[in-house]
Chain A
Amino acid sequence: MDKKDLKKRTVTTPDGKKIEVDPMKDYFSQAKPKIHKPGKTVFEKFLDWARAESLWILGFGTGCGAIEMRPLMTPRFDAFRYGIQWRPTPRQSNVFVIAGYLSVKTLKRVIRSYEQMQGPKYVVALGSCTINGGMYWDSYNTINRLDYYLPVDIYIAGCMPRPESLLAGFEELKKLIKQGKGEGANIYAEKFDWYKNNQKQIIKDWDMPDYNW
């Protein structure tokens, strides 16, 4: 989509009426995310178990670490036996694997995708680049620490981590979710202003709605 398509304009509808469309307002919800407090019932525990056993990953390879996800989803390591699978759209997935370094341009897309995912959602940060910048720590275009922009549930250290350590990381994530600690979406809603402020400091040409889901 071109940037000029995002401006306010008049559109003719199929029945001949002329209406004004403001894509930045009409196509997206501007409402802030809400906190959904988890219940303390046994049923909630059952739900947590169900969530932990079906981790659906958004197929979005952001950096070089994405190369480790291919052996993971193919027969050699076969993550499917752990209830982990890859989905093509953010609407169907609940785990976002940030695979390695993030440039500012990618971070913008990552934020949009993350906000479109439905809660409860989890972020797995892969590789040392997401922890402190890794080997790109002094680069002009890659971020240093991911937890300033998105709530991270679990880090998997390494450069790059092997598929085995990814599997171990997912097992840890399952434990966290079963303990009711996978509250990333709520943390994001709670500290929303702080996250937005950090994101806007980095992304200089902010040309999208503040919250787009």
Chain B
Amino acid sequence: MKELIKRLEQNFQISNIVWQRENEVFLTVEKTDAVPLITQLNHYESFTHLVIMTAVDWLEAGKFQLTYLLNNNEIKADIGIRVLLDREKAEMKSIHHLWVTAATYQRELHEMFGIDFPGSPRVDEPFILEGWQEIPPYRRDFDTKKYSEKTYFPRPGRSTNDPQEYMKKKLYPEESE
């Protein structure tokens, strides 16, 4: 694995290498480098299985982080490739030509985060949400509780307890007062 990373570093700008285990590593690469790197891993290094493709919303930094997790079944190793995209007009090259299933992930990311993947099949069609009119719901600036209260006729009389406060009151009543 270490040699593989060294080989990759000769061709690509790789930063922030995190070793989770001996056979699992996460790399951060530039947006333009990501698809060539994934293609090389798929074609020449036998990382033939796309385990998952997901996104994280770093609201404060104004970035989306895409993570591609690839698996090599021959040497039993995983590589996670992280790409940072700008939150405004987030757009990424599609990888559906490498794995057909990636189109489904990309469709979901387009719907839930609003990340665009031009050229990916059926990426504009609704996936889970039908007729969604707000900002994509997995973005962190979308207030799901407020939206639910506004839209879904909440039944009055619902009360919740903060577990910590509740147990403190129950177990140590003299302390809480």
Contact = CB atoms under 8 A, between A and B. Distances in A.
A204 B153 contact: no
B153 A140 contact: no
A133 interface: yes
A20 interface: no
B128 A105 contact: yes
A141 B158 contact: no
Nearest to B156: A132
Interface in A31-89: none
A107 to B, nearest CB: 10
A133 B158 CA distance: 10
Nearest to B145: A138
Interface in B106-134: 126, 128-133
B49 to A, nearest CB: 29
Most central of A141, A145, A203 by chain B CB within 10 Å: A141
Contact of B128 (A141, A145, A204): A141
Given A138-B145, A139-B144, A141-B137, A132 B131 contact: no
A85 to B, nearest CB: 32
A143 interface: yes
Interface in B58-105: none
Contact of A133 (B128, B129, B137, B155): B155
A161 to B, nearest CB: 18
B148 A139 contact: yes
Given A105-B129, A141-B129, A141-B137, A131 B144 contact: no
B130 A137 contact: no
Given A105-B130, A108-B130, A203-B131, A140 B148 contact: yes
Contact of A137 (B128, B142, B154): B154
Contacts of B153: 144-145, 148, 198
Nearest to B149: A138
B143 to A, nearest CB: 9
A140 B155 contact: no
Given A105-B129, A204-B131, A205-B131, A138 B148 contact: yes
A205 B154 contact: no
A137 to B, nearest CB: 7
A202 interface: yes
B131 A137 contact: no
Nearest to A198: B153
B166 interface: no
Interface in A178-213: 198, 201-206
Nearest to A142: B152
Given A104-B129, A204-B131, A205-B131, A144 B144 contact: no
Contact of A144 (B128, B132, B137, B148): B148
Nearest to A105: B130
B19 to A, nearest CB: 37
Interface string A121-147: 000000000011100011111111100
23 contacts: A103-B128, A105-B128, A108-B130, A131-B155, A132-B155, A133-B154, A138-B144, A139-B144, A139-B148, A140-B147, A141-B129, A141-B137, A143-B152, A144-B148, A145-B154, A148-B153, A201-B151, A202-B151, A203-B131, A204-B130, A205-B126, A205-B130, A205-B131
Q: Which 10 A-B pairs have the closest CB atoms?
A: A205-B131, A204-B131, A138-B145, A132-B155, A144-B152, A140-B144, A140-B137, A138-B148, A145-B155, A144-B154
Interface of A: 103-105, 108, 131-133, 137-145, 148, 198, 201-206
